[in-house]
Amino acid sequence: MKHLRKVDPQIAELVAKEQKRQETTLMMIPSENMASSAVEEAVASSLGNKYAEGYPHRRYYQGQGYVDQVEQLAAVRAKKLFDVDCANVQPYSGSPANLAVLLALCNPGDTILGLALDSGGHLTHGANVSFTGKFFNAVQYSVGKDGFLDYEQISRLAKKTKPRLIIAGTTAYPRIIDWKKFAQIADDVGAYLLADISHISGLIVGGVYPSPSPHVHVMMTTTHKSLRGPRGAMILVTHRGLAKDEKIMDKIDKAVFPGLQGGPHENTIAGIAVALKEASAPHFKKYAKQIVANAKTLAQELLSYGFTLVSGGTDSHLILIDLRNKDLLGNTMAVACERIGIILNRNAIPFDPNPPFYPSGIRLGTPGITSRGMKEKEMKKIASFMHTLIKDLLETKKRLGISKEDEKKKETRKRLVAHTKSIPLLRTEVFNLCKKFPLKEVY
């Protein structure tokens, strides 16, 4: 960072500190991962200087010869890797990409059907605080008491509400989605079917999670999670989508630009193209397989320590822990885990009695730590760290006489964590584990 240090030493110092933080902690937020140096070089390239409003060979500015080739290459690779007919690689991120699909295929006020936030859905799947819940008649389906998607309930809701579009996708659901059942539900009511595969796209191309391509009309994915690319998104249209609506891709293209965006970030698109090439290599399949193996091992170990897992386990990269039997808020556990170097997030759980700001769960995943080379042995260690931590937290909470209501206060949680004696030792254990698996080239 010689130029950055010279021009802006304050930013350079913050970047260096963030790099150090990543090196010395375990990246276990399921939506985070590490891109390769090749991806980072593409994103930091001179392509970011070019304004390229429009699409290849249909731009509004001159000097587009090379960026046209970059964007076309990214689209070709996306179509091949995901087995789809069309691809738009311009969306800035997942939320505007989902909005683009809705803008293309629905009118304001149309009914959409998506997974509720507390059942593992995303804000853009129709939550009332999101634009998708404000501009559309958003109906929400949920998981059953067992934590699994209830397809009979979804079918009944669809038949009752007749949605224009159904969203099949999650952000905090650890199990396999049955795309075929969703397709049947959508066909029964004549709805478009959108698969939001942002979390699982790397698992899909890695062959360890079923692809929705044969069953849905449109797929949307971010590119920075299990796919291990830069922070961007893609909208993919399947053969089935074109069969339902021959103009579907044209509608989506127009929704992205000029509907929602101006000039695309061609440097990010180049990074996406690089990530897609990396994901097509044989070693990526090994990586995806290890992600799932690690998640399953971690889940089993957590169960053996008395943790309650939503749905009882995982089929993917993600684990959702219900802390109600531990009598701790997700906030408390997330903060305490950060103190020892395990970075995860608090999360709502199905039928959560607590409000979203003080949820009863935490969410963690294995893509980031798998990128470091960690395997089953390390998952067992991580589970033991979490067990020791929560055991000590509960003992400290009891000793300090902290009630459930008091725990909602930020100062009380800080006091609880500060008095938990095992934290310094556990921080050393996590630090030493990180040293054994340094951040390295992930290609």
- Is residue 415 annotated as a catalytic residue, yes or no? no
Same domain, 227 and 210: yes
Same domain, 315 and 298: yes
Which conformational region is residue 194 in: left (phi greater than 0), alpha (psi within -120 to 50 degrees), or beta? beta
Q: List, for residues 384-421, the tens digit of each pLDDT value.
A: 999 999 999 999 999 999 998 899 999 999 999 999 99
Q: How many separate domains does the chain show?
A: 2
Q: List, for residues 238-286, the tens digit of each pLDDT value.
A: 999 999 999 999 999 999 999 999 999 999 999 999 999 999 999 999 9
Catalytic residue among 124, 222, 268, 396: 222
Catalytic residue among 77, 225, 372, 413: 225
- Is residue 51 annotated as a catalytic residue, yes or no? yes
User: Sign of dihedral through CA atoms 315, 316, 317, 322?
Assistant: negative
Residue 220 maps to a domain: yes
Same domain, 290 and 247: no
Query: In angstroms, rounded to a whole number, what is the distance separating the alpha carbons of residues 185 and 115?
Result: 14
Residue 209's alpha-carbon distances to 115, 198, 373, in angstroms, are 19, 13, 21
Average pLDDT over residues 361-378: 97
Q: Which residues pair with 234 in a beta bridge?
A: 221
Say what the pLDDT of residue 356 is.
86
Nearest in space to 422 (alpha carbons), one of 377, 378, 384, 375: 384
Q: List, for residues 43-81, the tens digit of each pLDDT value.
A: 999 999 999 999 999 999 999 999 999 999 999 999 999
Say what the pLDDT of residue 440 is.
77
Catalytic residue among 24, 32, 41, 51: 51
Question: Are the C-beta atoms of 323 and 361 separated by less than 8 Å?
Answer: yes
Residue 385 maps to a domain: yes
Residue 149 maps to a domain: yes
Catalytic residue among 59, 79, 181, 231: 231
Residue 420's alpha-carbon distances to 224, 265, 346, in angstroms, are 35, 46, 19
Assign residue 88 the CATH number of its domain. 3.40.640.10
DSSP letter (8 states) at residue 208: S
Residue 321 maps to a domain: yes
CA dihedral 179, 180, 184, 187 (to 10 degrees): 70
Mean pLDDT of the chain: 97
Nearest in space to 265 (alpha carbons), one of 76, 46, 85: 46
Domain limits for position 371? 282-436
Residue 196 in 3-state DSSP? strand
Return all residues near 434 (Cβ < 8 A) that are at least 6 apart: 23, 24, 25, 26, 341, 372
Q: What is the CA radius of gyration of the chain?
A: 22
Strands 111-115 vs 165-169: parallel, antiparallel or unpaired? parallel
Return all residues near 7 (Cβ < 8 A) that are at least 6 apart: none
Domain final residue, candidates 233, 251, 279 = 279
- Is residue 414 annotated as a catalytic residue, yes or no? no
- Is residue 324 annotated as a catalytic residue, yes or no? no
Residue 60 maps to a domain: yes
Same domain, 265 and 324: no
Assign residue 427 the CATH number of its domain. 3.90.1150.10
**Of the listed ranges 84-93, 301-310, 400-409, the one predicted with least confidence:** 400-409
Helix or strand run (H / E) with residue 392: helix 376-400
Query: In angstroms, rounded to a whole number, what is the distance separating the alpha carbons of residues 201 and 224?
Result: 10
Catalytic residue among 118, 196, 266, 407: 196
Same domain, 256 and 378: no
Q: Can you read off the two tokens belonging to residue 237?
A: 């249209």
- Is residue 196 annotated as a catalytic residue, yes or no? yes
3-state helix/strand/coil string of 226-290? CCCCCCCEEEEECHHHHHHCCCHHHHHHHHHHHHHCCCCCHHHHHHHHHHHHHHCCHHHHHHHHH
Say what the pLDDT of residue 69 is.
98
Domain final residue, candidates 240, 256, 279 = 279
Nearest in space to 96 (alpha carbons), one of 121, 132, 69: 132
Query: In angstroms, rounded to a whole number, what is the distance separating the alpha carbons of residues 413 and 405?
Result: 11
